[in-house]
Each structure stands twice: as structure tokens, then as C-alpha cells.
Amino acid sequence: MKAITEKIGKFDRKLLAQTLRGARLSTKTYPGLLVDTAYDDKGDVDRESYLVEVKDGKQVITKTLPPFSGPIN
């Protein structure tokens, strides 16, 4: 939300929602993001996901799943 608000230059709920649809945000352009993130035309998020298993009481990432829309860079 911070990246989109900065992009539009003010906080406006309707403009934010409109700008979010179809947005593709990369960590290269927005260093504060933890992962590259995209939003579809409905505003649903699409980003890398992780499969995690608990082994010896610790979480272990077993697989990284790419975003449905492909690489964001």
C-alpha cells in the first residue's frame, strides 16, 4: 500500500484501489518490499509462495512456488 500511495502522491482510497489493479511491483524499484508482487485486474495479489514442512520442530521451506503471472522483474 505504501508503494502505491507514494506512486499516486496522496492517500485516496478509490485511486489507490484503481492503481492497484494490474500493478506490478518489484523489489528493485521499491526496496522496502520483501518479495516482488503483482495484482491482477480484480486487485488480487499474485506473488511467490512457499511450501513449508516442520522438521525437528523447525520450519523448513521445501519448495518455492512462482507467481501465476510469471516473473515480475
Beta strands at 37-39 and 45-47: parallel, antiparallel or unpaired: antiparallel
Alpha-carbon distance of 53 to 55, in angstroms, equals: 6
Three-state SS for 37?
Answer: strand
pLDDT of residue 67: 87
pLDDT digits (tens, 9 = 90+) for 18-67: 999 999 999 999 888 888 999 998 889 999 999 999 999 999 999 999 88
Strand blocks (E) in 1-73: 24-25, 37-39, 45-47, 49-55, 58-65
Q: Phi then psi for 51, rounded to 5 degrees?
A: -95, 130
What is the rounded average pLDDT of the residues 7-24?
A: 92
pLDDT of residue 68: 83
